[in-house]
Structure 1
Amino acid sequence: MNKIILNKGKDKAAWQLHPWVFSGAIKSLEGDIENGDVVAVHNIEGEFIAYGIYNDTSRVAIRLLEWNPANPIDEQWWRTRVQKAIKNRTHLLHEENDTVRLIFAEADFLPGLIADKYADFISIQVHAAGVERVKHIIVDELVQQLSPKGIYERSDLKSREYEGLPNTNGLRWGVMPPTFVDVIENGIHYKVNIIDGQKSGFYCDQRENRFLVAQYAKGKRVLDCFCYSGGFTLNAFRAGAQEIVSVDSSALAVETLKNNVLHNGFDSSKHSAVQLDVNKYLRHLAEQEEKFDIIILDPPKYAPSRSTLERASRAYKELNRRGLLLLESGGLLATFSCSGAMDIETFKQVIAWAALDAGKEIQFIRQFTQPEDHPVRASFPEGEYLKGLLVRVM
């Protein structure tokens, strides 16, 4: 097998089962290695460390897969990993929930691969060149395990550019999903657009947090910012919210949300859907001296890397400052960050600064994280990206 030797002192993370090896850790390559090839990784003394996938166009030069030299990376290896990932999530699928993340990349020892189940359809995303080569195996095993109606690929990702891969979308097996797939999460029905929606079509990573926040919504006036297709809005409706205002800059998201409200039989007279930039809308609400009982802030990723963390922190602070200004004593702010580069303690500090600038005294009363179908591998803490806080204004 092709072999890669790591520099002395640069192999510690690999020994500790971290799945990424950067180019600066590589001393030499032995063999005719092409991007996407499986390689054996050794230390400078020649000891085997792990098998991995090599790609010199990626900032992650080797994605490590397997640390047992007796387990070669063959077709059965990929199939077994897919089987294990699915088995660990079957208990999450029932009549109240037919939407789940089946495969979560590095967390499931399948770096560069995402698979989400939406009712009878599966949406996949491929981030890495090595997985691109075995995509047909992955698709076949998903079919064998789950017998979906169709598998659709949404690999239109910036990360593919870094891997030297073109974007690719399209049907990979079965029948094309309809424009909107009817899914159930927490007993609530959603119309999910797998083909043109954001990410793979839906954000199932907020499933538990939507339910938790909704427990405070009965009889309350709620503002749901960055609402997308209405996850927090619909859970608040079911919990008995008195009035809900939902805001998103996407016309498709707002239209989908409106349809979801009607689809579940909720009273649309208690709902306002606004298509506008959230920060602009928050300024408008402050000018109108509007107040809410609960505000949800679930923005897109502001910090894609550590180099952008300082700028992102300023953006998070300003967003949360504007939200806090619309809450009076006893009001609740449910605020989130999906930036992996921002840890929970930094996020708390940012919210504390936002409260100080808003002239508000606050308490942190609950922390939120990602659900169990988005597990965090002990050797890969970078997989813990979603964090949130429930804040009470004093």
Structure 2
Amino acid sequence: MKNEITLKIKSNFIDKYKNGYPLIFQESILNLASLREEGAIVTLVDEKNHFIARGYYGRQNKGYGWVLSRKINEEIDEAFFQSSIASALNQRKSLYQDTETTAFRAFNGEGDGIGGFTIDYFDGYYLINWYSEGIYRFKDMILGALTSLVDPKAIYQKKRFDSSGQYIEADDFVLGERPEFPLIVKENGVNFAIYLNDGAMVGVFLDQRDVRKKIRDQYAKNRSVLNTFSYTGAFSVFAALGGATNTTSVDLANRSLPKTIEQFNINGIDEKDQTIIVQDVFQYFKYANRKNLQFDMVILDPPSFARSKKHTFSASKDYTDLLKQTISITADKGIIVASTNCSTFNMNTFKGFIDKAFKEMKANYRLVEEFSLPEDFKTIKAFTQGNYLKVLFIEKV
């Protein structure tokens, strides 16, 4: 049994926790100084010491830990983790049986009952993302629970809780048999090259699965497509397979060029027929405007925060201005796929950014479709921040 700490919760936050809010956050705690060693079990009580919930202390950018149980006598042991992971895997049974999609999220943190870590599945291989030292203290229990439920080819991990790199292993291997990389997985029949042993990024963001499929199946045909902040070119691959006349992928990272070429090639697409540009997206917009370039579809999926030599971008502050530049190079009747993974504002606020940008550009638009997280990225109503993805298909009319 780990050390247990009693946390007194301020009266104005008690109902929030009783109604299912899972994040233990600083402003709600009366005796913050009692939190010392991450991984400690915490019991949340009101000012009269009445039980509210149990959780653990683990600091990450979102808060100080997560609620695990609202049962006063429930043990936080391997059986506890096994129960939550088993439930999550069972809910994804249809994805496990889908031969056209072999990469998805198997466990989504607080959405599946335990905040602070996620598990992704890549055709028999598993990747665990740890988001705090606190949850990492439960590693052996969680690995024991997972391996009691599945027979993984191998398990890899990413320790995302220490920016100094102290917790980064050479290749993030945990157990099993080391595979040859890349792994080739499928998403709706399209191939992706995956590297579980190569730093923080593995090759594709799984939360955009539904959006990529929609682009391929309904929007790309006979359109010229610009994919900004393109990473490994996943949107470009789906657009090309959907019949785009051409794709242009733009990303600042030097490695985006070979990575995007690889994704094209494993899908039988000649990269020479596509355009791949290593450049600051903000600089590319200036170039495209000078040259009066116009695209039939522009995919705008910036990180929540980004810094280059000449620009600092914050989605909450700068998305409207970025969208204005996008509008200027989008052809009439063209489609803008505006996306953000920023959790600090909701879909209504995001739609406000869209409206403001079009009004300031004196342009008209129509919202065609909207997307949030796919079903395997499970969320709960009590924690709206967990449903971070916001995607709008916008027609410039």
Q: What TM-score, normalized to structure 1?
A: 0.90
1:61 Cα shift? 3.2
1:25 Cα shift? 2.8
1:339-368 per-residue CA deviation (whole Å, 9 max, x = no partner) reads 001211111111222223333211111112
Aligned residues: 384
Measured in 1, the distance between the counterparts of 2:345 and 2:197 equals 30
Measured in 2, the distance between the counterparts of 1:71 and 1:138 equals 17
Change (3 A) 1:165 1:19: farther
Give secondary structure in 1 for the equivalent of 2:30: strand
1:71 Cα shift? 2.2
Measured in 2, the distance between the counterparts of 1:360 and 1:192 equals 40
1:263 aligned partner, one-letter code:
I
Measured in 2, the distance between the counterparts of 1:20 and 1:198 equals 24
1:270 Cα shift? 2.8
**What percent of counterpart residues are identical?**
26
What is aligned with 2:354? 351
The answer as to 2:141 corresponding to 1:125 is: no
1:121-174 per-residue CA deviation (whole Å, 9 max, x = no partner) reads 21111112332111122223323333222111111x3x446xx99433321111
Measured in 1, the distance between the counterparts of 2:49 and 2:22 equals 19
Query: Within 5 Å, which residues of 2 pair with 1:319-334?
Result: 319-334=322-337
Question: What's the RMSD between the two structures over aligned residues?
Answer: 2.5
Measured in 2, the distance between the counterparts of 1:24 and 1:363 equals 40
1:391 Cα shift? 0.8
1:384 Cα shift? 1.1
1:121 aligned partner, one-letter code:
Y
Structure 1: which 4+ aligned runs deviate by more than 4 Å?
A: 28-33, 55-59
Change (3 A) 1:201 1:43: farther
1:20 Cα shift? 1.8
Asked whether the equivalents of residues 224 and 297 of structure 1 are also in contact (C-alpha less than 8 Å), the reply is yes
Measured in 2, the distance between the counterparts of 1:377 and 1:49 equals 19
Asked whether the equivalents of residues 181 and 193 of structure 1 are also in contact (C-alpha less than 8 Å), the reply is yes
What is aligned with 1:306? none
Measured in 1, the distance between the counterparts of 2:317 and 2:90 equals 41
The answer as to 2:18 corresponding to 1:8 is: no
1:125 aligned partner, one-letter code:
N
Asked whether the equivalents of residues 39 and 52 of structure 1 are also in contact (C-alpha less than 8 Å), the reply is yes
Measured in 1, the distance between the counterparts of 2:303 and 2:34 equals 43
1:227-259 per-residue CA deviation (whole Å, 9 max, x = no partner) reads 112221111122111111111112222211111
Measured in 2, the distance between the counterparts of 1:358 and 1:88 equals 45
Query: Within 5 Å, which residues of 2 pair with 1:1-394?
Result: 2-28=5-31, 34-55=37-58, 60-93=63-96, 94-155=98-159, 157=160, 159-160=161-162, 166-169=166-169, 170-196=172-198, 198-214=200-216, 215-302=218-305, 312-394=315-397
Change (3 A) 1:15 1:261: same
Measured in 1, the distance between the counterparts of 2:60 and 2:393 equals 41
Give secondary structure in 1 for the equivalent of 2:256: helix
What is aligned with 2:309? none
Listed as ranges, the gaps of 5+ residues in structure 1 are 304-309
Change (3 A) 1:61 1:228: closer
1:277 aligned partner, one-letter code:
D
Change (3 A) 1:56 1:261: closer
Give secondary structure in 2 for the equivalent of 1:10: helix
1:176 Cα shift? 2.8
Measured in 2, the distance between the counterparts of 1:134 and 1:106 equals 15
Give secondary structure in 1 for the equivalent of 2:382: coil
Asked whether the equivalents of residues 193 and 203 of structure 2 are also in contact (C-alpha less than 8 Å), the reply is no
Q: What TM-score, normalized to structure 2?
A: 0.89
Listed as ranges, the gaps of 5+ residues in structure 2 are 307-312
Change (3 A) 1:347 1:23: closer
Change (3 A) 1:194 1:329: same
